[in-house]
Amino acid sequence: MKNDLKSNKSYRDQLIDLAKFYNIVEVKSYRSSNKRLTTSQLELLLIKNKIRLPKNVSSVRALKKHEIRENSITNAYLSICFIFILAGMIVSRPYIKNIVNEVKFTYTASEFKNNTSQTPKKQKSKKKQKKIKKQELSDQTVSLNAETTMNLFEDLQYVLKDIRNGKKVKPIYLTKLPKDLKSLGDTSEKKKLFIRIVLPLILAENDRINKDREQLFKILNKNFNTVGERLWLKRRFKEYKIEDSDLSELKTRMDIIPVSIAIAQAAKESGWGTSRFALEGNALFGQWTWGDTGIKPLDNNSPEGVKVLNFQILRASVKAYKNNLNTHSGYKEFREARAKMRQADKKLEGLALIDFLDRYAATGKEYTKVLGVIIRQNSLTDFESSVLLPTRLAKGVSL
């Protein structure tokens, strides 16, 4: 074959011989269909199959054209990829910045959690270890002391002054109140620390309710609902204790509690986080129960058999409180007044709604007056527009 290629055959014939020798399928199919391939077509088919062309001016040109074409396509693809990468970096820059901040926040909070939950072995004697109760061993929640909690908030730049000026609240969910909160000599500092603890918990529950409201109105605006949507509605009717599947009533009940009211009631019912019920049972709102579980009051003035509901974590107390205001018949007027404000497209203001919570305590109107004083003296209305910082790494950090 090599000798044949070196003969005085024409360049085209040499190309055909090469195609036959290397058994190129495309050339065979063309020949069987009686189609005549041009010299350029033959060259391209050989080049495509990685076969070296015989020396010829035309072959050199063909190779150069093929290389230029391949390089052009490669460069075009690389340019497009570079443009997409550059555009992606520009678009995702704010997102990356948020992620970095969240990583820093999560890491700092986790460090505090680890440092406070782990005690050096040297500080624990064998005798003390034997006295640890099984209940304490199974309890996974952490109770930070007041100083550690304040240091944590400062390290995370969680300052109430910034929140009042519009800065978003970082989702730091303490599972327990500091047991030495009462020891803070400065009443102002104690109140500020308490507000910083309960504010993210209240906002988190309000966020959950707002998301449910959005879902509810999406469903109501549709002509046909899916099986999943109908199941979702069924669960919400059960959650808000509506037996007749009244959608209008569900809209009235499924709504947030103004932040100023929630903070004021938590402060009043828990003594700014220092009551026995709050410290022992995470009971921020002093809700009563006649069931088996709960903390029995020490005074004799309470109704017979009544106990104060206790919770595993603080956020559970906030959730139960909001369910109470949104479902109990005693707060129907409160919900109706709130619904009227919604219909009038007004902002839900705590001071405008506290008068409808006179049934929350035995003192009635005196109780709502006290709430008003707490809200005004501590400027709690400043937090009614507060927004929880969204996190994509986790649903916040629980300590």
Domain locations in the chain? 2-55, 60-123, 140-398
Residue 47: per-residue pLDDT: 76
Q: How confident is the model at residue 369 (pLDDT cuts 50, 70, 90)?
A: very high
pLDDT at 101 over 70: no
* Measured distance CA(143)–CA(215) in Å, rounded: 36
pLDDT at 103 over 70: no
Residue 267: per-residue pLDDT: 96
pLDDT at 99 over 50: no
Ranking 29-38, 98-107, 133-142, 271-280 by mean pLDDT, the lowest is 133-142
Q: Which residues contact 203 (CB under 8 A, 6 or more apart)?
A: 169, 259, 386, 387, 388
Q: Which residue has the higher pLDDT, 55 or 368?
A: 368
CA-closest candidate to residue 112, choices 140, 139, 142: 142
* Measured distance CA(395)–CA(393) in Å, rounded: 7
Burial category of 113 from C-beta neighbours within 10 Å (exposed 0-12, middle 13-18, buried 19 and up): middle
Q: Across residues 354-379, what is the average pLDDT?
A: 95
Q: Are 341 and 348 in contact (CB under 8 A)?
A: yes
* Measured distance CA(263)–CA(314) in Å, rounded: 13
pLDDT at 27 over 90: no
pLDDT at 4 over 70: no
Q: How confident is the model at residue 107 (pLDDT cuts 50, 70, 90)?
A: very low
Q: Across residues 92-111, what is the average pLDDT?
A: 51
Q: Are 181 and 274 in contact (CB under 8 A)?
A: yes
pLDDT at 3 over 50: no
State which CATH number among 3.40.50.970, 1.10.530.10, 3.40.720.10, 3.30.1490.20 fits the domain covering 140-398: 1.10.530.10
Q: Which residue has the higher pLDDT, 188 or 26?
A: 188
Residue 78: per-residue pLDDT: 77
Q: What is the tens place of the pLDDT at every residue in 302-324?
A: 666 678 888 999 999 999 999 99
Q: Are 48 and 25 in contact (CB under 8 A)?
A: no
- Chain mean pLDDT for the chain: 80
* Measured distance CA(142)–CA(139) in Å, rounded: 8
Q: How confident is the model at residue 91 (pLDDT cuts 50, 70, 90)?
A: low
Taking residue 328's Cβ as centre, other Cβ atoms within 10 Å add up to 15
SS3 content of the chain, % helix, strand, coil (to 5): 65, 5, 35
Q: Would you say the C-alpha torsion 246, 251, 253, 254 has a positive or negative sign?
A: positive
Q: What is the dihedral of CA 279, 283, 287, 293, to 10 degrees?
A: -80
* Measured distance CA(163)–CA(387) in Å, rounded: 9
pLDDT at 81 over 80: no
* Measured distance CA(330)–CA(42) in Å, rounded: 92
Q: Across residues 380-399, what is the average pLDDT?
A: 77
Q: Detail the DSSP E strand segments found in 76-195.
A: 172-173
pLDDT at 20 over 50: yes
* Measured distance CA(328)–CA(394) in Å, rounded: 33
**Overall pTM surpassing 0.85 (yes/no):** no
- Kind plus residue range of the DSSP H or E element containing 134: helix 134-138
- 3-state class of 175 per DSSP? coil
pLDDT at 139 over 50: no
Q: How confident is the model at residue 80 (pLDDT cuts 50, 70, 90)?
A: confident
Residues in the chain: 399
Residue 236: per-residue pLDDT: 96
Q: Are 352 and 341 in contact (CB under 8 A)?
A: yes
Residue 319: per-residue pLDDT: 96
Q: How confident is the model at residue 95 (pLDDT cuts 50, 70, 90)?
A: low
Q: Are 190 and 184 in contact (CB under 8 A)?
A: yes
Taking residue 218's Cβ as centre, other Cβ atoms within 10 Å add up to 11
Amino acid at 200: P
Q: Which residue has the higher pLDDT, 210 or 17?
A: 210
Taking residue 381's Cβ as centre, other Cβ atoms within 10 Å add up to 15
pLDDT at 96 over 70: no
pLDDT at 5 over 60: no
Q: Which residue has the tokens 């080049």?
A: 47
Ranking 13-22, 183-192, 233-242, 351-360 by mean pLDDT, the lowest is 13-22
